[in-house]
């Protein structure tokens, strides 16, 4: 995925029906923005803003240019002020590059610019294979990602094998795994292997890139990415140098992401605490999402991670023992009392709350103990129209309710 040092000839056609892709996707865009920050191409990538574009990569001569450029610094800061993460780039030659050199490149990025992490290109799929510098590939990349996480303000590390991995070995050391980068929608349809382990992690841990695809294929590609648990995508028509500029259908691609009914869902939990008087404050579970075109919401909570138990009617993908439902700007928690497909619920006391953070960004929260002591839950969000009819279902989001020591929140950008 290194950037080619040559220009790119843009095709002159663009016919996209926005209405056809409004409800597709449910993801955000991670742009391999391999032009200098501040260039016309960089500005075009960033123009849609954080509602559509969540990550951009700064790549100066494949990460080897250690010179400080004031114009690049200004452009990176301006992009981050939009709420977009900017991460540095370095390549690893599939574990064959001297880690001392890679650390020098990482140091230069952080010395020169305010960035949110690093993208490690050219990674292997097999983490158990031998490495010339350390006993195996896992230890090689673990040392590099730890080196980044030690930097002040660093939050994101991305490892790019560019294809599916048969095991989840990289997930313990990287925030995001790029487990697809290839040409053509047909290849994505037919050659991608959808390992079950991928669906045990939140979608914002995975990034898919498809190049050499047409504007009329955007909807299908976004829907496939959703089904395959990829919370980050980049789609472009170019092949010779697909990361030289945004695609001609960039406006349609970003609009499809921005206007989806459910966007960037994130959930977390925190344990019981004590106030200054020693009184116990109950632990809470919080679910946040961004979305458009919905009047109300239902959040289905599968506390036994079994889609065959609890409520499993109406086309949802989980078996819900509980549901958080909104109405007229308020939220309440309900427990299922039916037998699978009948709509039967009772409200339970949970100090349920619904808060509006920003336009379109909502947070549902409730006492974790109200879920009956479960340690994990699968979450699925449903958008409803004004008449109460379902218009969109999110992907299934797995959430730990006990691992509260460190929560990585890809959607919360702190300046």
pLDDT in tens, 74-88: 999 999 999 999 999
The pLDDT value recorded for residue 153 is: 76
- Cα distances (Å, whole numbers) of residue 16 to 186, 187, 399, 400, 406: 19, 22, 36, 40, 42
Q: Which of the two residues, 382 and 25, has the higher pLDDT score?
A: 382
Q: Is the pLDDT of residue 12 over 50?
A: no
Q: Quick one: what percent of the chain has pLDDT higher than 70?
A: 91
How many Å is the Cα radius of gyration of the chain? 22
- Reported as type and span, the H/E element at residue 111 is helix 99-112
Q: Is the pLDDT of residue 176 over 60?
A: yes
Q: Quick one: what percent of the chain has pLDDT higher than 90?
A: 72
Is residue 321 within 8 Å of 300, Cβ to Cβ? no
Handedness of CA 87, 91, 96, 101 (dihedral sign): negative
pTM: 0.83
Q: Is the pLDDT of residue 273 over 90?
A: no
CA 165, distance to chain mean position in Å, is 18
Fill in the DSSP letter of residue 134. Answer: S
291-323 per-position pLDDT tens digit? 777 899 999 999 999 999 999 999 999 999 999
Spell out the SS3 assignment of 315-354: CCCCCECEEEEEECCEEEEEEECCCCCCCCEEECCCCCEE
Q: Which of the two residues, 407 and 392, has the higher pLDDT score?
A: 392
Q: Is the pLDDT of residue 375 over 60?
A: yes
């Amino acid at each position: 995925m290194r950037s080619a040092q040559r220009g790119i000839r843009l095709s002159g056609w663009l016919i996209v029906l926005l209405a056809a892709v409004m409800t597709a996707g449910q993801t955000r865009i991670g742009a391999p923005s391999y032009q200098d920050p501040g260039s016309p191409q960089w500005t075009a990538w960033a123009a849609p803003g954080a509602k559509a574009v969540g990550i951009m990569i700064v790549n100066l001569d494949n990460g080897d240019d250690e010179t400080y450029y004031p114009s690049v610094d200004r452009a990176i800061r301006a992009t981050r002020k939009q709420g977009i993460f900017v991460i540095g780039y370095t390549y690893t030659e599939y574990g064959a590059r001297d880690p001392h050199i890679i650390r020098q490149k990482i140091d230069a990025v952080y010395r020169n610019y305010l960035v949110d992490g690093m993208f490690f290109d050219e990674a292997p799929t097999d983490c158990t294979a031998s490495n010339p510098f350390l006993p195996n590939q896992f230890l090689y990349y673990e040392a590099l990602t730890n080196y980044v996480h030690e930097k002040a303000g660093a939050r994101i590390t991305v490892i790019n094998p560019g294809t599916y991995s048969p095991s989840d070995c990289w997930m313990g050391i990287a925030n995001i795994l790029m487990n697809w980068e290839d040409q053509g929608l047909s290849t994505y349809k037919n050659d991608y292997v959808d390992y079950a382990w991928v669906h045990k992690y939140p979608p914002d841990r995975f990034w898919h890139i498809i190049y050499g695809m047409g504007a009329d294929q955007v909807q299908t590609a976004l829907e496939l990415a959703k089904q395959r648990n990829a919370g980050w995508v980049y789609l472009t028509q170019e092949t010779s140098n697909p990361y030289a500029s945004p695609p001609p259908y960039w406006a349609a691609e970003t609009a499809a992401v921005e206007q989806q009914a459910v966007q960037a869902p994130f959930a977390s939990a925190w344990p019981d605490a004590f106030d200054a008087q020693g009184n116990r404050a109950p632990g809470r579970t919080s679910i946040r999402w961004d979305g458009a075109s919905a009047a109300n919401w239902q959040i289905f909570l599968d506390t036994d991670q079994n889609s065959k138990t609890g409520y499993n009617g109406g086309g949802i993908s989980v078996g819900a023992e509980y549901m958080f439902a909104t109405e007229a700007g308020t939220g309440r928690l309900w427990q299922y009392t039916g037998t699978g497909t009948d709509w039967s619920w009772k409200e339970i006391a949970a100090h349920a709350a619904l808060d509006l953070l920003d336009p379109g960004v909502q947070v549902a929260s409730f006492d974790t103990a109200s879920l009956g002591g479960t340690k994990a839950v699968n979450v699925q969000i449903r958008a409803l129209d004004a008449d109460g009819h379902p218009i969109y279902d999110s992907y299934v989001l797995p959430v730990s309710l006990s691992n509260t020591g460190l929560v990585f929140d890809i959607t919360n950008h702190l300046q």
